[in-house]
């Protein structure tokens, strides 16, 4: 079964392997397959589910809501996000204004079939809305009981510090950040993680397998596999491009004996690696087939010794991206509509 970790300095726990439905539900797989995969996640001990209103233009939330219908609500942790354009993408259908937050949370509650959201996350930083307006709107949702905790996604160290101060002033808890993080992509380690540790904010990390590259299925000098994420522009192909260099793929192949020595598959090694970071509360995983989760959840509770961690670093070498300045390039400079 899956272990649990506290989120930030709160008393709220999430399953350290969390199910995310970014590129699968209402996009990559049929609704029937998506529902079967959510049920497989529940059977494997995953109780935390992460989505966003923008995924498949709100349809992914609806599929997740259908999949979780009939489950004991108190035994689930439901996470969603707000920021990116939704609906007809009008002038106020994006960003972190009070209006868009209010409209978005009502839609998310309806689609997810629940009367509260455990963790409501600012999907990106909104440079066009005063941060005071955003956090006042979040605080109102907490006081109304529609949201329990506040999180953010891909915020810089400075943005986390400013948001944390506002949350404290308003008497609400900013408990998490959701950045990209993997053994190949470590850009949060320089500034974001130390700041988050100081403030009592956890990381819920996405792409712990570097968009599937750390599974070893992409081979140097070979075409990408047919039907893989790298071939599907709707399924994160843009995000995977940076990892599809031969030097990176060769480095990943060098991890195979390291994983074998540790008694793990490559996917298990990749997920276990991010969970060794004490500031990481959960690794987000997706699945297009129920059986994929049986392998994934075995990474929960794995402790990698110092020799194994050193062997991972030696195998990956210069293929690892560590530049903390890249955390400043994630949030759009302007709203997208």
Phi, psi of 206 (to 5 degrees): -105, 160
pLDDT at 337: 67
- Confirm if 266 and 218 have CB atoms less than 8 A apart: no
Is residue 235 scored above 60 in pLDDT?
no
Marked catalytic residue, from 19, 55, 149, 218: 55
Identify which has the larger pLDDT, 230 or 170: 170
pLDDT digit string, tens, across residues 175-188: 999 999 999 999 99
pLDDT at 234: 60
* CA–CA gap between residue 25 and residue 51 (Å, rounded): 10
In the chain, the percentage of residues whose pLDDT exceeds 70 is: 95
What's the whole-number mean pLDDT along residues 11-39? 88
- Secondary structure E strands in the chain: 4-6, 13-15, 17-20, 48-50, 77-82, 117-122, 147-152, 174-177, 202-205, 280-285
325-331-335 Cα angle (round to 5) = 150
Q: Which pTM does this prediction carry?
A: 0.95
Averaged pLDDT of the chain: 93
Is residue 46 scored above 90 in pLDDT?
yes
Catalytic residue status for 55 = yes
Is residue 229 scored above 70 in pLDDT?
no
Is residue 51 scored above 70 in pLDDT?
yes
What's the whole-number mean pLDDT along residues 95-103? 98
98-331-172 Cα angle (round to 5) = 45
pLDDT at 236: 62
SS3 7: coil
pLDDT at 306: 98
Predicted confidence band of residue 241 (pLDDT cuts 50, 70, 90): confident
In the chain, where the domains are located: 4-217+265-303+320-329
Per CATH, the number for 4-217+265-303+320-329 is: 3.20.20.100
């Amino acid at each position: 079964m899956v272990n649990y970790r506290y989120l930030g300095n709160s008393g709220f726990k999430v399953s350290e392997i969390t199910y995310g439905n970014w590129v699968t539900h209402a996009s990559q797989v049929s609704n029937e397959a998506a529902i079967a995969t959510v049920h497989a996640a529940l059977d494997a001990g995953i109780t935390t589910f992460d989505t966003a209103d923008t995924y498949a233009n709100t349809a992914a939330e609806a599929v997740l809501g259908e999949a979780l219908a009939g489950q004991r609500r108190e035994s689930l942790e439901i996470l969603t996000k707000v920021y990116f354009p939704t609906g007809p993408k009008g002038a106020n259908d994006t960003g972190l204004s009070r209006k868009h937050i209010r409209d978005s949370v009502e839609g998310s509650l309806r689609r997810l079939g629940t009367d509260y959201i455990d963790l409501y996350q600012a999907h990106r930083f909104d440079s066009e809305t005063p941060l005071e307006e955003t956090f006042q709107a979040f605080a109102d949702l907490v006081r109304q009981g529609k949201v329990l905790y506040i999180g953010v996604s891909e915020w810089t160290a400075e943005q986390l510090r400013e948001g944390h101060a506002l949350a404290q002033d308003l008497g609400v808890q900013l408990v998490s950040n959701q950045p990209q993080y993997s053994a190949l992509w470590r850009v949060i380690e320089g500034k974001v993680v130390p700041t988050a540790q100081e403030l009592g904010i956890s990381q819920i990390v996405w792409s712990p397998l570097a968009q599937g590259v750390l599974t070893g299925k992409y081979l140097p000098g070979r075409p990408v596999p047919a039907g893989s994420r790298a071939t599907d522009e709707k399924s994160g192909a843009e995000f995977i491009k940076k990892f599809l260099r031969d030097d990176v793929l060769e480095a990943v192949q060098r991890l195979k004996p390291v994983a074998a020595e540790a008694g793990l598959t490559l996917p298990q090694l990749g997920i276990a690696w991010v969970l060794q970071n004490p500031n990481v509360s959960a690794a987000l995983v997706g699945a297009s087939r129920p059986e994929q989760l049986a392998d994934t959840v075995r990474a929960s509770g794995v402790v990698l010794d110092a020799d194994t961690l050193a062997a991972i670093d030696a195998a990956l070498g210069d293929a690892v991206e560590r530049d903390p300045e890249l955390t400043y390039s994630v949030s759009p400079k302007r709203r997208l509509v």
